[in-house]
Amino acid sequence: MSREYKVGVLGASGAVGREVLNCLEDRGFPYASVKALASARSAGARLDFAGDEITVEEVGPDSFKGLDLAIFSAGASVSRQYAPIAARSGCPVVDNSSCWRQDDRVPLVVPEVNARVLARHRGIIANPNCSTIQMLVALKPIYDAVGIKRIIVSTYQAVSGTGQKAIEELAEQTRRIFNCQDIAANVYPHRIAFNCLPQIDVFTDNGYTKEEMKMVNETKKIFGDENIKVSATCVRVPVFYGHSEAVWIETARHIEPAAARELMSRAPGLLVVDEPEKGRYPMAIDAAGRDEVFVGRLRADLTTENGLSMWVVADNLRKGAATNAVEIAELLIRDPELLKTSWEW
Ligand code: 25A
Ligand code: L14
């Protein structure tokens, strides 16, 4: 018995929202209808969808009545306002913002890692931060096999994570530099073209940025492991699509790189690209537009017995946001128990 679902996409006109529409189409999600929602700024705009166009509607308190599920990517303040309204009207929400991720009532889900926690959702499900998702898809098989005590990660993050305006800013600054014109930095605190910025989001009291602390706290919640130690340095680089990460781990028990590579090559959602002698390793330009996480440069650490280093790349708008959210939606519709009813918020 197959059913079709009425799906809402809030933030449909943004960088992530458009990719959600692409994912629903590419993955053959069984939708009966797709409702594109955004702010008044975009109401009336037409978006390409499934060989046709859909018109963006302004979101309001009644937008979610009659929908079977919704995917949000309009930022934290919009999610804070509308996710409870949707859940109360019987429309479960998969939320891409940071708003609900640390709320105890809200499961934080990477399907390859902790799909089982979906069972206790109450109408709002959080999609993790992009950098955390790709790191954990890569580490999950090693975590399960030998345990991981400590992670030290440096990220090289694309501008598309910040949204459409940042994509335009990198392109515009690059053009102006080539034309010997003055440039302005509007989206980021400094110029991003031909530069690296060791700041993503705002700084917190401990000297780390919010993005870095998201990687620490979300890793603990998704692995369900308060003891795992994580330290991150998040860097914005002048790349349009695809986050790269240099990941170092200390495992609880020893594992040879070859054995780790073998485990990773069988893990869902993960592709090993690791032939350095042929110049083959994961790169952002190859990951762009793909749904998988790519891992390579897997090697033994030279300073400690149980250390491994690797390079992990994924499309931040696909697996880092839209794909992961649509995969959660696919899990929801597989079990009618997870969809029915409405929730108190
Ligand atoms: O708060 P957070 O969690 O840190 O998230 C901050 C931002 O990150 C993106 C998303 O930006 C979000 O705003 N984001 C969210 N989840 C993400 C994830 N997992 C993520 N990025 C990476 N990974 P975005 O640009 O991709 O998309 C924003 C969408 O949200 C809609 N929106 C914004 N405020 C809204 C709202 N919808 C309803 N109510 C609100 N109050 C937004 O629609 C877009 O779909 P829009 O209509 O506001 O804008 C569509 C187009 O209009 C242009 N534009 C934007 N701002 C202005 C503007 N034009 C004129 N003036 C402006 N001030 C843009 O070009 C945009 O394309
Ligand atoms: O928490 O700017 O999901 O690259 C995703 C995009 C945080 C910021 C999140 C970026 C956001 C990030």
Give me the pLDDT at residue 38, please.
98
Which residue is catalytic, options 23, 99, 130, 234?
130
Mean pLDDT value of segment 196-205: 98
- Ligand 1 contact, 219 CB (< 6 A): no
CB 149 within 8 A of CB 250: yes
User: For residue 339, how many C-alpha atoms fall within 13 Å in the half-sphere facing its CB?
Assistant: 19
> Where, residue-wise, is CATH 3.30.360.10 in the chain?
131-316
Please report which ligand is nearest the Cα atom of 16.
1
Give the model's confidence band at 342: pLDDT under 50 very low, under 70 low, under 90 confident, else very high: confident
Among protein residues, the one whose CA lies closest to atom 39 of ligand 1:
39
And the tokens for 203? 């700084």
Whether 71 lines ligand 1, by a CB cut-off of 6 Å, is no
Measured from the alpha carbon of residue 9, the closest ligand is 1
| Count of H-run helices and E-run strands, the chain | 9, 14
What are φ and ψ of residue 309, in 5° steps? -120, 150
Structure tokens given for 72: 């949000």
Ligand 2 centroid to Cα of residue 300, in Å, is 30
DSSP letter for each residue of 220-232: HHHHT-TT-EEEE
CATH 3.40.50.720, the chain: domain bounds:
5-128+321-338
Question: Among all ligands shown, which has an atom nearest to the Cα of 212?
Answer: 2
Is the Cβ atom of 130 under 6 angstroms away from ligand 1? yes
Q: What is the mean pLDDT of the chain?
A: 97
Residues in the chain, how many? 345
127 CA: nearest ligand 2 atom = 3
Which CATH superfamily hosts domain 5-128+321-338?
NAD(P)-binding Rossmann-like Domain (3.40.50.720)
Superfamily of structural domain 131-316: Dihydrodipicolinate Reductase; domain 2 (3.30.360.10)
Cα(274) to ligand 1 centroid in Å equals 37
23, 99, 234, 243: which is the annotated catalytic residue? 243
Q: Is 100 exposed, middle or buried (0-12, 13-18, 19+ CB in 10 A)?
A: buried
Q: What is the pLDDT of residue 81?
A: 98
pTM of the model: 0.93
Active site residue 91: no
Amino acid 150: pLDDT: 98
Summarize pLDDT for 88-144 with one digit per residue, the tens: 999 999 999 999 999 999 999 999 999 999 999 999 999 999 999 999 999 999 999
CA distance 294 to 304: 25
Give the Cα separation of 50 and 44 in Å (integer): 18
pLDDT digits (tens, 9 = 90+) for 57-85: 999 999 999 999 999 999 999 999 999 99
Indicate if the pLDDT at residue 18 is higher than 60.
yes
Q: Ligand 2: which residue has its CA nearest to atom 2?
A: 162
* CA of 73 relative to ligand 1 center, distance in Å: 7
Active-site residue, 243 included: yes
